[in-house]
Amino acid sequence: MRVTFLGTGSAMPTGERFQTGILVQDDGRTLLVDCGSGVLHRLQQSGVGYESVSTVLLTHHHLDHVSDLLPLVKARWLAGEEHLEIVGPQGTKALVDDLLSVYDYLEGRIDLRIREVHEGEFSVAGFDVAAYETRHSVPCLAYRFDDRFTFSGDSEAFGGLTNFAEGSAILAHDCSFPDDVDVSNHPTPETLGKALSGRDIGRVYLTHCYPHTDGRHEEMLESIGAHYDGDVRFAEDLTTVSIE
């Protein structure tokens, strides 16, 4: 399995990090998880391209996770691709319908299939996936791809979520702000470190970084390390991780 971080940023641009998007590839299968602003550009830069993405799996519906959805629809239509499947939590169909009501010239241009999923197990793009409800300001799902990869989506840090990720080779976890920012719906390093304490995870990549984290990576890693002694790193746009 190959996991490529297309976008590791947040709703506040940094100039270096685009909004959320993660590409999961394995044995000829390709899945895009989230599709925030800039993800289409990163797809081209990754060498994969939007032509290869026929399924998008959404964690939730905040703008920085869905804003390139319609640009993806349009790009695939103009490239002669015939279909796109969008899978996500409850409300995904209403979201896409509302977007198309604004850009109605895209209606019917490609075969657009919408599917809603809930906490539990399902299959998408040939992958067997488990979903877990996170703690965010809107309904949001974390996703686990067997024992290889787990993505937290947006969430506060809590034991239920890190227990869901237990045993994963790679965990990509929201870590939006340093400790001195008073925030809800996202973790700080200290709360994430406490939630990770005692967990068996091969490597943790921190993502969804706000500009507040710039220049403060070392102190954030130290804060996590005070509670969790595992391998923790910051994800960067276009970083690819191979998982056996």
- Encoding tokens for residue 225? 């390390």
At residue 14, what is the residue type? T
The CA distance from 202 to 167, in Å, is 7
Residue for token pair 């539990």: 120
Residue 228: count other Cβ atoms within 10 Å of its Cβ. Answer: 21
146 is annotated as an active-site residue:
no
Residue 198: count other Cβ atoms within 10 Å of its Cβ. Answer: 14
Which one from 64, 68, 174, 237 is the annotated catalytic residue? 64
Q: Burial level of 197, CB count in 10 A (0-12/13-18/19+)?
A: middle
Any idea which residues carry the catalytic annotation? Answer: 64
